[in-house]
Amino acid sequence: MMTRFMASQLAFNWRRNLSAIGGTVIIALCLFIVFAGPSLVSQNPYDVKQLNLLDSYLPPVWMEGGNPDYLLGTDGQGRDVLAAVIYGTRISAFIGLAATLLSCVIGTFLGLIAGYFGGWLDALIMRIADIQLSFPSMLIALFLMSAFGTGIDKILISLTAVGWVVYARTVRGSTLGERQREYVQAARVAGLRDAAIIWRHILPNVMTPLIVVATVQVGTFILIEASLSFLGVGVPVTEPSLGLLIKNGFDVLFSGLWWTSVFPGLMIMAMVFGINLLGDFLRDELNPRLK
Amino acid sequence: MFAFTVRRLIQMVVVLWAVSVIVFLMMTFTGDPVFMVVPIDATQDEIAQARRILGLDRPMIVQYGIFLSGLLQGDFGLSYVFRQPAFDLILERLPATMEMVVVAMIIATVVAIPLGVYAGANPGKPLSRLIMSGSLLGVSLPGFWVGMMLIWVLAVEYRIFPSSGRGDVGTIFGMQTSLATASGWHHIILPAFTLSVGTLAILLRMTRAGMMEVTRQDYMKFARAKGVSRRGVLYGHGLRNALIPVVTIFGLQLGDLIAFATITETIFAWPGMGKLLIDSIYRADRPVIVVYLMLVALIFVVINFLIDVLYTFIDPRITVK
């Protein structure tokens, strides 16, 4: 499998594209932080027993008054900023990935049904999608969160509610095309049930464009989640994502304590930038119109 | 054209009606507003009475009817917090939000289109690569964080710009706006720039993609062969065709700007309707949230309608159906 992939055209072009390699490296580093995170730092930033109030608001280590135990400084409760950023990255990345996965599964399912069966179901799903697309995702998510209250599960629901539309539209479009093809008609003549035709024959043929959509969406969702958490309607204070760390840092920014908000922001930027670099490459590669 | 307009108007009404149903349902099934208006130590009787006054004891469908007729008359009820008509509260703050959105849109357009044309017409040049990397970074940045960094550097450390507020307000064409005073302009630059970053990057990328597509077309070569200057071809023939997809994005971006203005206004303490929305969410001030949502929904359907009409002027090949 791996050797087959490395011999493919995609892998060949990837090896010659500096920004694609860069994006992959950044994503790999982020994934490393997500999985190895807690073992990289000695402090668990959310275990109150491990915090020392005497160490509050220490600057990063290279500044005057910095403490080598806290490379990126500490916040108002003596929490290591580096540890907080690592734990926050885990939450942000989890929300981005999980919400994308949920959106993809639900959107693809609805798109397949709409495209394959047509009729009133198709009309209903697509009208809902149309209405939703005329409003910015951020606003819909903000509205849903203001109604639901904070919580990671609620963010996942809100993001999925805004995210499924692109998949449904893309998949419906390609399903309409595939449905007319000879292989689908042959499968139908052979007596396969609709569910089997959709699952085994149509689905694999409509998946390619979704790769690009899903890649970019992880980045978008991380940004939306950060914005929601910054506004205080995202994650709860007990599970702070990078956005919430920035919010907490904002309150003390005016006193010149910049490190509590600068580093979480840089982390979001790096993560989303890496995703977008790879997404750009994939779009150029997988879009047959540009070839 | 007339048939198109009528059909679109009907469609707009249907969308707004659907939004009103969704807003009503969400508001009804999330928490009980009665506790927003009664004192904490209210007795059962007082709570029941408040419920009756608010109409919360009526059947759901009757409540929706009252809600809808209120919407149609522009009567959204009193804000639980300010004890003033919620509609007036939002309307009062609308100009502040709009002036920020407009300035942000102007910044984004003025910067993005020339850079996008350049990067699209000269792919592979070092400057084009720099522009494209910059724009990719632009879409990867959390907008609110950019605003905070600007405040930190330009307002806290160097004190070049004010960090919050709207400045003095003057009157242009009978509208209260901070664009009428020097202090207003001084205050609007940071928030408007913050708000424009994402849109700027997206417009730039769309313009570039459009330009790259049109520069391959035969009519571009033909115009050059005919003796039109390079600049004349790029802006006269190329940009006009490249702009078609950009106009669609323009409309969507205008919506995004209004949505993200909530965050920018919160950071810069800008007294617009976005900040009022966030404050109202914290205080569960339901009437204000409803007005905001319905007003923004109205703005969006109107923008989408105008964009569709605009198409036919930019590209006569498109006929509206």
pLDDT (tens digit per residue) in A59-81:
787 777 777 777 787 887 778 88
Helix segments in B152-272, DSSP class H: 182-215, 218-226, 230-232, 239-267
Task: Show residues of chain A in contact with B152, CB under 8 Å.
Answer: 253, 258, 262
Q: Of all helices (H) and strands (E), which one includes residue B89?
A: helix B86-121
User: pTM of the predicted model, to two decimals?
Assistant: 0.88
Give the rounded distance of the alpha carbon of B280 from its chain centre. Answer: 19
pLDDT of A12 above 50: yes
pLDDT of A4 above 80: no
B91: contact with A, CB 8 A cutoff: no
Disruptive mutation site among B13, B128, B145 for chain A (greatest number of A CBs within 10 Å) = B145
For A141, nearest residue in chain B (alpha carbons): B259
B176 φ/ψ angles, rounded to the nearest 5 degrees? -75, 115
pLDDT at B321: 47
pLDDT at A96: 95
DSSP assignments along chain A, one per residue = -HHHHHTSHHHHHHHT-HHHHHHHHHHHHHHHHHHHHHHH-S--TT-GGG--GGGTTPPPTTSTT--TTSTT-B-TTS-BHHHHHHHHHHHHHHHHHHHHHHHHHHHHHHHHHHHHH-HHHHHHHHHHHHHHHTS-HHHHHHHHHHHH-S-HHHHHHHHHHHHHHHHHHHHHHHHHHHHTSHHHHHHHHTT--HHHIIIIIIHHHH-HHHHHHHHHHHHHHHHHHHHHHHHTSSS-TTS--HHHHHHHHHHHHTTT-THHHHHHHHHHHHHHHHHHHHHHHHHHHH-GGG-
Kindly give the parts of chain B with pLDDT less than 70. 30-33, 36-37, 173-175, 314-321
* A163-217 per-position pLDDT tens digit: 999 999 999 988 988 888 888 889 989 988 988 999 988 998 888 888 888 999 9
pLDDT at A205: 87
Give the CA-trace dihedral at A32, A34, A35, A36, to 10 degrees. 70
pLDDT at B174: 64
The model's confidence at residue A291, banded by pLDDT at 50, 70 and 90, is very low
Strand partners, B177: B170
pLDDT of A269 above 90: yes
pLDDT at B41: 76
Disruptive mutation site among B140, B159, B278 for chain A (greatest number of A CBs within 10 Å) = B140
CB-count burial class (<10 Å; 0-12, 13-18, 19+) for B299: middle
Disruptive mutation site among A138, A276, A287 for chain B (greatest number of B CBs within 10 Å) = A138
B153: contact with A, CB 8 A cutoff: no
Mean of the pLDDT values across residues A77-89? 87
Nearest to A277 among B27, B136, B148 (CB): B136
For A250, nearest residue in chain B (alpha carbons): B148
pLDDT at A99: 96
Is A52 or B31 the better-scoring residue by pLDDT? A52
B145: contact with A, CB 8 A cutoff: yes
The answer to whether B139 contacts A230, with C-beta atoms less than 8 Å apart, is no
Most confident among A127-141, A253-267, B95-109 (mean pLDDT): B95-109
Share of chain A above pLDDT 70, in %: 97
pLDDT at A289: 54
Share of chain A above pLDDT 90, in %: 35
The answer to whether A143 contacts B143, with C-beta atoms less than 8 Å apart, is no
pLDDT at A165: 93
